[in-house]
Amino acid sequence: MSVLAVAKKDFLDVRRAKSVWVVSGLYMLLVAFLFYFGQNGPTDPNVIYQLSTLTTVGTLFVPIVALMMVYLTIAGERESGSIRYLLSLPNTRRDIVIGKYLSRGAVGTGVILVAFGVGAVMTVLWYPSFEATVFGGIAGLTVLLTLAYVSVAIGISAATGARSQAMTGAIGFYFVSNLLMISPNLSIVAALEYVLNGRLGMGISDHLFEFIRMLSPTIAFRKSLPLVVPNDVTVFPANADPSAPSYLTPEVAFTILVAWLVVPIAFGLWRFNRTDLD
């Protein structure tokens, strides 16, 4: 077998996972819901506004979709012992990690593209303008966000040896990188700033703390939005600040988001290679 053979087998396996279909179906229903009721709201429906709402909600929902469909892909097989069967074939551990990433990433990408396809059809039918450039750009960034969390889940799954550990790691990462990062004033970075600046008086720049917050894939995604959204659009959760230092630009945020597609897999593979499966 090879990377592609592992990916093909895993793709067939993931199609039978009910949890994947449930969370994917909920996301598609969410997209349809937002676009349907959006065209019944204002007298002049605006697809940009619906895309903004979808982006805000998606930062909470998309990581769940990605993590749910991936976190057990290797840890589950290690706990059941079926990983030994895969390794008894002419497969390397690298083949398994990358093959499973390709299959789960393809499923996640498919879910996002189908959901945005549903939104695109509804937009053409009910909205006065399609805004194809913005629509396509946001869909592309959402795919990258999905792949970033797929990468994280693969890395966690490869680095852990039990279902409970993989689940704990996935849930913990979701809380730390998402729920505890989205609100600037209520994030764990804000708590760090309070301790270092408020209590210890270290005088660290606010921009540096914002960069630390941007290391989250979710925040990097939001900070990348100005790359695909016109400057005069003010309804999106993140807008480019011309006065911000160079390390807070949308381009840097996009680079961080892309890095999340690679670094977790590399770490997971490194840990997997050092693990004794006997």
Tokens of 160: 């852990």
**pLDDT score for 168:** 94
Residue 240 class from Cβ within 10 Å (0-12 exposed, 13-18 middle, 19+ buried)? middle
Mean pLDDT is lowest, of 12-16, 63-67, 107-111, 213-217, for 12-16
pLDDT of residue 233: 66
Burial of residue 15 (CB within 10 Å: 0-12, 13-18, 19+) is exposed
User: In terms of Cα–Cα distance, which of 53, 55, 50, 57 is closest to 122?
Assistant: 50
Overall residue count recorded for the chain in this entry: 278
What's the whole-number mean pLDDT along residues 237-254? 79
Does the pLDDT value for residue 142 go beyond 90? yes
Residue 171: Cβ within 10 Å count:
12
Q: What angle do CA 36, 41, 45 make, to 5 degrees?
A: 80
Categorize the per-residue pLDDT at 196 as very low, low, confident or very high, splitting at 50, 70 and 90.
Answer: very high
CA distances from 155 to 70, 214, 222 (A): 10, 20, 23
Residue-level pLDDT at 209:
93
According to the model, what pLDDT value does residue 216 have? Answer: 96
pLDDT tops 80 at residue 256: yes
Helix/strand number for the chain, H first, E second:
13, 0
